[in-house]
Amino acid sequence: MNNALIINSIGCGMCVTSCARGVYEYNYENKKSKVVNPTN
């Protein structure tokens, strides 16, 4: 469902820091953001 967002991630982490709803989580090993709570 939200895979396009993960694939297009450039690894900057801005979505994680700017989203106050806790939708994203940053994976430091892959240097990519991941959707963890899409319904928030």
Give domain limits for the chain: 3-35
Q: What is the dihedral of CA 8, 14, 18, 24, to 10 degrees?
A: 50
In the prediction, which pLDDT does 6 show?
Answer: 52
Over residues 1-40, the pLDDT tens digits come to 455 445 577 889 898 999 889 999 998 998 888 889 988 8
- pLDDT, position 9: 73
Of the candidates 38, 40, 31, 26, the one whose C-alpha atom is nearest the C-alpha of residue 11 is 31
pTM > 0.85: no
pLDDT of residue 34: 86
